Amino acid sequence: MASSSRTDGRQPLETRAISTKLGALSRADGSARFSFGSTSSLASFAGPIEVRLREELPDRATLEVTHRPLEGVGGQPARFIEHKRDPTPSRALEASLISALTPLLALSQHPRSLVQLVIQSLSSPCTSYHTSSSMADIPDGPVSHLWPPNTILSKADLASPSSPYALSFAERSSALNAASLAILDAGAVSLRAVPLAVSLAYIPADVFVDVLGGIEEGGATREVQLVVDPSAEEERAAKSRFVFGWAFGEGVSTSGRGAEQDEDMEGEGGKEAELVWAVSEGSFSKAEFDTALEQSRVSASEILGAVREQLRRHISARLA
């Protein structure tokens, strides 16, 4: 049976080549570049540093996240203590990253201080997508900062049909991955677990074969094709798109589940995995969502393995 393949030669569940570089910026406390093929993000981390009095929190550090797109206008820096969000794509991404990172960072160890995370997109923006009525069931309201988060999806993180949400899903996942590596490179604020994200998309089978030039499995019949780390062309052709972020660490997935379920959630190298970020867009069934969610955990675990190997090389080179 011939296996399915995409125009760039990848299998449907295969990511593009992963590339990382730590310490990319000399003047930052920590910095990193993360790439899925040509989709790349550069992140810098600074802190703990002095915070303005009006932004000071007595029991934890204030987390400030800024996203700068390669083209267009970014939003104002988003902070943990803020809940108002402007409609720009960058501001929505900033709020999502704060929601994912706040429960993982040991901010309580650095009260009355500021930690800053700046993410620069190095990829051209993707064409905006329309959103479907499948978003209607996603709750409004402030994002939960509990651990584990009890609100995974937030409508405020998504684009309305009139919003210029031009960031591709692959770009959003690379942003979180670059941010995680920059925090690790700084080492000043510890992480309870390492969050890593991956994007997925469902492409109609006829579009996958006829338009994108994909090759179907011999004898297989299906209505949609699930692909991991879709290219910009595949995202535009998709009927639904997803980003899932998983945090890998010890003891992160022991809340409200049995031991058997926790064992099933273990990722690469025996590390437990907890879902900390999920964004969906388009039309999809519950079964399709569940399949994409489970595949994202597997793919994020593979990304963790690649990141760990490149981190070993970086540390070895630094110690040499």
Rounded CA Rg of the chain: 19
316: β partners: none
What is the predicted pLDDT for the residue at 79? 57
CATH homologous superfamily of 18-319 equals GHMP Kinase, N-terminal domain (3.30.230.70)
Burial 77-105 (b: 16+ CB within 10 A, else e): bbbbebeebeebbbbbbbbbbbbbbbbbb
- For 298, the token pair is 């597997």
Amino acid at 272: E
What is the predicted pLDDT for the residue at 258? 40
Instruction: Report pLDDT digits (tens) over 211-269.
Output: 555 555 544 446 889 999 999 889 988 999 999 999 999 877 544 344 444 444 444 44
- For 21, the token pair is 């570089």
Give the integer Cα–Cα distance in Å for 276 and 267.
14
Instruction: Report pLDDT digits (tens) over 117-170.
Output: 999 999 865 544 443 333 333 334 433 333 333 333 333 443 333 334 468 999
Residue 43 φ/ψ, nearest 5 degrees? -125, 145
CA nearest neighbour of 68 among 129, 15, 116, 27? 116
How many whole angstroms from its chain centre is CA 10?
21
Q: Which residues have C-beta within 8 Å of that of residue 205, sequence separation ≥ 6? A: 216, 222, 223, 224, 225
